[in-house]
Structure 1
């Protein structure tokens, strides 16, 4: 995996999916294990503003920390994915690549696109038909922003400041559910 071309203070949509679009999360324990690794490997380099884990892919909205070691960040992302892959291979007796070879990091050059990405990431389970309501998908930061859980992975204060988010949970839930221009996919990928 080549080094990510990240710059301090900038916002990025980071994502990857299963090789051949195959499943990468098989059980709740797999989701939790990935989140533990995400916290361990990336939070010293990146502020996680939003996240969503889907059965065959993941999305992160991040802001690069001012003092991030950018070469170490790429290495740590590689370690996160490879250590998770080894664990899944052992647990399920599989071989070969679990993730696509290149993790993408798309810079979000404007706050408008960053806000749309924030909403898009949280809407992903609903758009994929996995749930009827966003609150039903526990593998995203939506329950934290909607006031349904007190998760600590996301830096909600940084997200509120950077994205000019509402502070009230009900307003936040409405914003996430109703903000997404139809032509946004070209900007986010």
Structure 2
């Protein structure tokens, strides 16, 4: 079945979701999150032949980075949407593959997008994107999440690190009003772009991980797990990833290197 063309946006603004291929984590530690934010910052600026800023490839209004996917509220400028996402993904994948001694794709080939044609839906997306960590149970309040753009709106980060066009938003919505809106949970029936409506995976506790390891391999400690036959060990790690264990958690509990765990296909 041929792919459907992306729906155009009358404003040039889109909600974009980029996700890891096979649900793979695309952010494994704090350095990865900050590298992606830095990538967004570098890729949005256009430079002349002398290396001086000369324009804008795209404008960001909001972002949220969520382990195995990310959300962007982005406006086309010099780049169309496909080129903007290509700039971002290509640069970050180069960094990620080099760091973790891997090659090949990191992001699902076709990113998801939806047009934002009016201010009402733009405001809904500001709420939805920034509430992602709260909805996932990672933090209790929007302001507590480190890897979203909300702290740019509250001026909790140094101005040098501002990469979103908050000024344009504030010309339409005063901060006090926006803060109240963003902190008011969206009703469950509000449906924004998501994983084909699939629910986010629950994370396993360390005790739950070991219960699964014992059931799958009959081993009770990291040393014995490392001595398992390779195929059995990899199959157990694969199953644990599918059950919701994170790469960092498995590396810490089993002593198996992150590169090996990430290499296993889900």
TM-score (norm 1): 0.82
Per-residue CA distance 1:95-137 (angstroms, 9 max, x = gap): 3321100122210122211111111000001111111222221
Deviation at 1:140, TM superposition (A): 0.5
5+ residue gaps in structure 2?
46-55, 195-266
Match of 1:158 in 2: 168
The residue matched to 2:125 in structure 1 has which SS?
Answer: helix
Query: Could you say which residue in structure 1 is the equivalent of 2:63?
Result: 51
Q: What's the CA shift for 1:57?
A: 0.7
Residue in structure 2 matched with residue 140 of structure 1 by the alignment: 148
Conserved 8 A contact 1:18-1:98: yes
Aligned equivalents of 1:46, 1:80: Cα separation in 2: 11
Which among 36, 45, 51 is matched to residue 34 of structure 1? 36
**Cα distance, 1:6 vs. partner?**
5.8
How many residues are matched? 179
Displacement of 1:82: 2.0
Alignment of 1:1-189 (within 5 A): 9-43=11-45, 44-65=56-77, 68-70=78-80, 74-150=82-158, 151-161=161-171, 164-168=172-176, 171-178=177-184, 180-185=186-191, 187-189=192-194
- The answer to whether the 8 A contact 2:11-2:117 is kept is no
Q: Give the TM-score, by structure 2 length.
A: 0.60
The offset of 1:149, in angstroms, is 2.5
Secondary structure of 2:175's aligned partner:
coil
Moved >4 Å (runs of 4+): 3-8
Q: CA distance change for structure 1 residues 110 and 188 in 2, over 3 Å: closer, same or farther?
A: farther
Deviation of 1:61 after TM superposition, in Å, equals: 0.9
Structure 1 alignment gaps of length 5 or more: none
Change in Cα spacing, 1:128 to 1:179, as seen in structure 2 (3 Å) is: closer
Taking the aligned partners of 2:141 and 2:185, their CA distance within structure 1 comes to 15
Q: Deviations over 1:11-32 (max 9, x none)?
A: 2101111111111011111111
Superposed CA RMSD in Å reads 2.4
Highest RCO, 1 vs 2 (Cα 8 Å, sep ≥ 6)? 1
